[in-house]
Amino acid sequence: MIEPKDFIRAQVVADLDSGKHARSVTRFPPEPNGYLHIGHAKSICLNFGIAVESGGDCHLRFDDTNPEKESQEYIDAIQRDVEWLGFKWAGPVRYASDYFDVLHDYAVELIKLGKAYVDSQSADDMRANRGTLSEPGRNSPYRDRSVDENLALFAQMRAGELADGSCALRAKIDMASGNINLRDPVLYRIRKQHHHQTGGKWCIYPMYDYTHPISDALEFITHSLCTLEFEDHRPFYDWLLDTLAHVLPQPSSVVTVWKKVGAAAGDSTVLPHPQQIEFSRLNVNYTVTSKRKLKQLVDEGLVHGWDDPRMPTISGMRRRGYSPEALRDFCARVGVTKSDGVVDVGMLEFCVREHLENSAPRAMAVLRPLKVVLTNFPASEVKAIRAARHPNHPEMGERDIPFTHEIYIDSADFEEVPPKGYKRLIPGGEVRLRNAYIIKCDEVIKDSAGHITELRCSCDLDTFGRNPEDRKVKGVVHWVSASHGIPCEVRLYSRLFTDAAPDRGDVDFKTFINPQALEVVQAVIEPSLAAAQPEERFQFEREGYFCADRHDSQPGKPVFNLTVGLRDSWKPGA
């Protein structure tokens, strides 16, 4: 049962308890002009979450009113993202374009009511006459056209007889209003553009502010949830639905739509009036969430597509290895408020680690291999070591790790001249190999340039599974068999931007792109990892959490992406 844990859920609970609504109906209305990002994840979790918690419905409706910037690729990606996050929309996928006939017919009714007119000013003149926050706008010289003249001109717009930009249909409200959104907003503009859903049927397209409230009403949405930038648009939302309440009987196109969604024609003679409620959008530091700017990164080749693991898109985070459970947990921790703020990206990374800590099996991978020859371990012997796939979840089972005469350790785990406090391998020093023996470095082999190419070490064969009684060995390093390990490409990702506020506006955001946000290394992984399936997640012991790339991994030859490191700088309550 839904709990009133935030002001929106409290309103839903109150409306259900009072009988105002028999059930809640929300909607998620993305524009198909780009991939969804972390900010959309919050809206998805809120709209679909309320439906799940209250036993109501949530519609997926594409706001496809600007075909010039839209594509089927984006539509498909958005549906994948919603489903991957763990949600399912009620009924079929909906489109604002499903209602183009209704939107047109209501525009005609507004003209007949004297509430809309065709303005033949240029876009620049409309903008100049709109006024400012401190000065009222000026009436268009075409504002007082007769109803018949407006109907005739709108019909010409619809028929494609007028040029793009030559005129627009505007609502007739109040050019002196303190709210600029009520200064005769544009309802329709001419765009002779092929539409991905309706083809060439239309050459005029409705504006979002006009489309949104009518679409909500046609679908009997009870609570229309928007981010705070739409708060100043709510008066027009309400004005439009209040004005259309005087349209009786409903146009035949409305009745057709209602019959299609299962509402009898007599169920509602007046267009319903959903309640728009605003909440703060999700802003995360070190992140850009403008779709225009994200598209710029893609188009200019600064990232490898919309699902590049460095991108804050849901597809990118999925490819990097973030889990849907972690994203849902993050959105729940952020909560729903009316106060704008910036969330620390460390909180997101904390949620990712917390989920993977308990769900990701363990394995060993050496990212920067340094060869170690174990001089006293037989060259022909292969010792099979059994190790748990997860220390706290025996139900995950075990894996076999081959131990051989030659192994690899990470080059960072050896220092010829160690810094103070160094607890890994040094000349003459000892460390324990994870799940195996204690070894001692006896000799360092270098090439002609003085680079270390190999270590010769001896193995204390009495220390498998137990500590020596005569000394303490503190350091532990991971390793992989040189003869049985699998060569593997590993992509090490870090934050895409070096500045906490890359989108602050006073500097081009691209100047903050981190040139070290991606490093590709040729690693060696333990044999059990060769069977990793695309999107399967692991903890590489002592390194971090990694995910098999969903596109580039092949059977027996996975490619791994760094999801997040092991160390955490953010704590709950920080």
Which residues are known catalytic residues?
31, 281, 291
- Whether residue 452 is predicted with pLDDT greater than 80 in this model: the reply is yes
Question: What pLDDT sits at residue 1?
Answer: 80
- Rounded CA separation 154/168 (Å): 9
| Token representation of residue 275 | 């309640």
- CA torsion through residues 339, 313, 63, 175, sign: positive
The DSSP output letter for 98 is G
**Per-chain mean pLDDT for the chain:** 95
Residue 74 domain-assigned (yes or no): yes
CATH of the domain at 233: 3.40.50.620
| Token representation of residue 71 | 């594509």
- Rounded CA separation 213/220 (Å): 11
- Rounded CA separation 188/103 (Å): 10
- Rounded CA separation 110/352 (Å): 51
- CA torsion through residues 187, 189, 195, 201, sign: positive
Question: What pLDDT sits at residue 564?
Answer: 97
Residue (of 404, 371, 107) closest to 251 by Cα position: 107
Total length of the chain: 574
- Rounded CA separation 410/412 (Å): 5
Residue (of 355, 356, 351) closest to 539 by Cα position: 356
| Contact (Cβ atoms closer than 8 angstroms) between residue 67 and residue 194 | yes
Beta strand pairing call for 486-493 and 559-565: parallel
Question: What pLDDT sits at residue 528?
Answer: 96
Q: 353-366, pLDDT tens digit by residue? A: 999 999 999 999 99
3-state secondary structure of 560: strand
- Rounded CA separation 465/473 (Å): 13
Residue 165 domain-assigned (yes or no): yes
| Integer CA distances (angstroms), 40 to 70, 92, 307, 420, 545, in order | 17, 20, 15, 47, 25
Is the bond preceding residue 534 a cis peptide, omega within 30 degrees?
Answer: no
| Integer CA distances (angstroms), 346 to 44, 137, 573, in order | 21, 46, 12
Q: Work out how many domains the chain is built from and give that number.
A: 1
Residue 34 domain-assigned (yes or no): yes
Residue 245 domain-assigned (yes or no): yes
> Which H/E stretch holds residue 359?
helix 345-359
The pTM score is 0.94
- Whether residue 348 is predicted with pLDDT greater than 90 in this model: the reply is yes
| Token representation of residue 20 | 């105002």
- CA torsion through residues 550, 551, 554, 557, sign: negative
- Whether residue 265 is predicted with pLDDT greater than 60 in this model: the reply is no
Is the bond preceding residue 572 a cis peptide, omega within 30 degrees?
Answer: no
H runs (alpha helix) in 55-167? 72-84, 100-112, 123-128, 147-159
Torsion of CA 136, 141, 143, 149, to 10 degrees: -170
Task: State mean pLDDT over 421-448.
Answer: 96
End-to-end CA distance of the chain: 30
Can you name the residues that pair with 58 across neighbouring β-strands?
26
3-state secondary structure of 472: coil
| Contact (Cβ atoms closer than 8 angstroms) between residue 306 and residue 77 | yes
Q: Which domain holds residue 46?
A: 7-279
Residue 174 domain-assigned (yes or no): yes
pLDDT band of residue 263 (cuts 50, 70, 90) is: low
Q: 292-310, pLDDT tens digit by residue? A: 999 999 999 999 999 999 9
- Whether residue 157 is predicted with pLDDT greater than 70 in this model: the reply is yes
> Which H/E stretch holds residue 431?
strand 430-433
- Rounded CA separation 165/405 (Å): 77
| Contact (Cβ atoms closer than 8 angstroms) between residue 327 and residue 41 | yes
Task: State mean pLDDT over 427-432.
Answer: 96
pLDDT band of residue 443 (cuts 50, 70, 90) is: very high
Question: What pLDDT sits at residue 266?
Answer: 43
**Residue 501, Cβ density class (10 Å: 0-12 exposed, 13-18 middle, ≥19 buried):** middle
| Contact (Cβ atoms closer than 8 angstroms) between residue 517 and residue 498 | no
- Rounded CA separation 481/483 (Å): 6
Q: 13-54, pLDDT tens digit by residue? A: 999 999 999 999 999 999 999 999 999 999 999 999 999 999
Can you name the residues that pair with 267 across neighbouring β-strands?
none
3-state secondary structure of 451: coil
Residue 177 domain-assigned (yes or no): yes
- Rounded CA separation 126/131 (Å): 9
| Contact (Cβ atoms closer than 8 angstroms) between residue 409 and residue 439 | no
- Whether residue 267 is predicted with pLDDT greater than 60 in this model: the reply is no
Q: 111-126, pLDDT tens digit by residue? A: 999 999 999 999 999 9
- CA torsion through residues 501, 502, 503, 504, sign: positive
Residue 325 domain-assigned (yes or no): no
- CA torsion through residues 305, 311, 314, 320, sign: positive
Angle at 426 between CA 423 and CA 427, to 5 degrees: 155
Task: State mean pLDDT over 503-529.
Answer: 95
| Contact (Cβ atoms closer than 8 angstroms) between residue 457 and residue 441 | yes
Task: State mean pLDDT over 555-573.
Answer: 83
3-state secondary structure of 528: helix
For tokens 């991971």, name the residue.
478
Question: What pLDDT sits at residue 571?
Answer: 58
The DSSP output letter for 175 is T
Residue 204 domain-assigned (yes or no): yes
Q: 55-100, pLDDT tens digit by residue? A: 999 999 999 999 999 999 999 999 999 999 999 999 999 999 999 9
The fraction of the chain above a pLDDT of 90, given in percent, is: 92
- Whether residue 327 is predicted with pLDDT greater than 80 in this model: the reply is yes
- Whether residue 188 is predicted with pLDDT greater than 70 in this model: the reply is yes
Residue (of 35, 26, 50, 12) closest to 82 by Cα position: 35
